[in-house]
C-alpha cells in the first residue's frame, strides 16, 4: 500500500525533473548556432589513432565555424572537445549520470548534465547540422542507428551522418547491405544513402559545410554526394 502511495509522487517529481532538463538544454543550446555532434568510444586512449583523428576533425569543424557537441566523457568525446576548445570554438559536453560515474573531460566550455538518456539524445539531434560517428561500442551504435531511424521515418529533418574510419565500419556496412537490404528487404536501397563513410576530416567537413550552406539546419533532402567517400 505504501508503494501505491509513493509511486505517483515519485513519478510526478520525475516529470518535473524531465521538464527541467529539457528547459535547461533548450535555453543553453538555442544560442549556440551551427554545431556538429561527434560520437565515439569513451574507452579510446589519447595514444590511439582514432583519438588523434577525432581531435583533428573537431579542430577542422571549429575552423569551419561550427561548435562541437559531445557526450562530455573521455575517449573520442574528450578528443573532440579538446580539438574544438583549442581552436577557441564552443566545446559542448552533454554529460550523463551513470551508475559507474562518467567523469567529465576538461575541455568543455559549456557543460550540461543529464539524468535521462532520452532528453540528452534530443539535445544531440536538435542542435546538430551533422553527426560524425567514430569507432565505438553499444552506445555509439545506438546513437548511429537512432539517427538513421529518425531520418528514415521523417521524424527528423535529414542531416549528414558520417561514419569516420572505413576500416572499422566496412564489416557492418556489408552486413547491412547483404542481410538487411538484399537478402531480406528490411530496408530500401535509398536507406543506404542516409549516411556516408569517410576517412579524412576534410571530407566530413565539406559534406556538413555544403549541407549548412545549401539547406540549413532544417533541410529536407540530403546534399549531393552522400555516398561512400
The reply to whether 119 falls in a domain is yes
pLDDT of residue 142: 94
What is the value of pTM for the model shown? Answer: 0.87
Closest CA to 19 of 122, 119, 127: 119
The reply to whether 167 falls in a domain is yes
The reply to whether 11 falls in a domain is yes
Residue 28 sits in a domain of what CATH number? 3.40.50.450
Q: How many domains does the chain have?
A: 1
The reply to whether 148 falls in a domain is yes
The reply to whether 220 falls in a domain is no
State phi, psi for 31 to the nearest 5 degrees: -80, -5
Domain range spanning residue 7? 2-214
The reply to whether 6 falls in a domain is yes
pLDDT along the chain (229 residues), means of 10: 59 91 95 95 97 98 97 97 98 87 88 93 90 97 93 78 98 98 96 95 96 64 40
The reply to whether 31 falls in a domain is yes
The reply to whether 222 falls in a domain is no
> Is residue 165 a contact partner of residue 50, using CB atoms and an 8 Å limit?
yes
Other beta carbons less than 10 A from residue 215's beta carbon:
17
Amino acid at each position: 500500500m505504501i508503494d501505491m502511495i509513493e509511486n505517483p509522487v515519485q513519478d510526478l517529481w520525475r516529470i518535473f525533473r524531465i521538464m527541467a532538463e529539457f528547459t535547461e538544454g533548450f535555453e543553453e543550446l538555442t544560442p549556440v548556432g551551427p554545431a556538429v555532434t561527434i560520437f565515439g568510444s569513451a574507452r579510446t586512449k589519447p595514444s590511439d589513432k582514432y583519438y588523434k583523428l577525432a581531435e583533428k576533425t573537431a579542430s577542422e569543424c571549429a575552423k569551419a565555424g561550427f561548435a562541437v557537441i559531445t557526450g562530455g566523457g573521455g575517449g573520442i568525446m574528450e578528443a573532440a572537445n579538446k580539438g574544438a576548445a583549442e581552436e577557441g570554438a564552443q566545446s559542448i559536453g552533454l554529460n550523463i549520470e551513470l551508475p559507474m560515474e562518467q567523469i567529465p573531460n576538461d575541455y568543455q566550455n559549456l557543460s550540461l548534465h543529464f539524468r535521462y538518456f532520452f532528453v540528452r539524445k534530443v539535445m544531440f539531434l536538435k542542435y546538430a547540422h551533422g553527426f560524425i560517428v567514430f569507432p565505438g561500442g553499444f552506445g555509439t551504435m545506438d546513437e548511429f542507428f537512432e539517427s538513421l531511424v529518425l531520418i528514415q521515418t521523417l521524424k527528423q529533418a535529414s542531416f549528414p551522418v558520417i561514419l569516420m574510419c572505413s576500416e572499422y565500419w566496412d564489416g557492418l556496412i556489408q552486413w547491412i547491405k547483404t542481410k538487411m537490404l538484399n537478402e531480406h528487404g528490411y530496408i530500401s536501397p535509398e536507406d543506404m544513402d542516409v549516411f556516408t563513410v569517410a576517412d579524412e576530416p576534410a571530407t566530413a567537413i565539406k559534406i556538413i559545410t555544403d549541407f549548412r550552406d545549401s539547406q540549413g539546419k532544417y533541410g529536407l533532402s540530403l546534399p549531393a554526394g552522400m555516398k561512400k567517400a
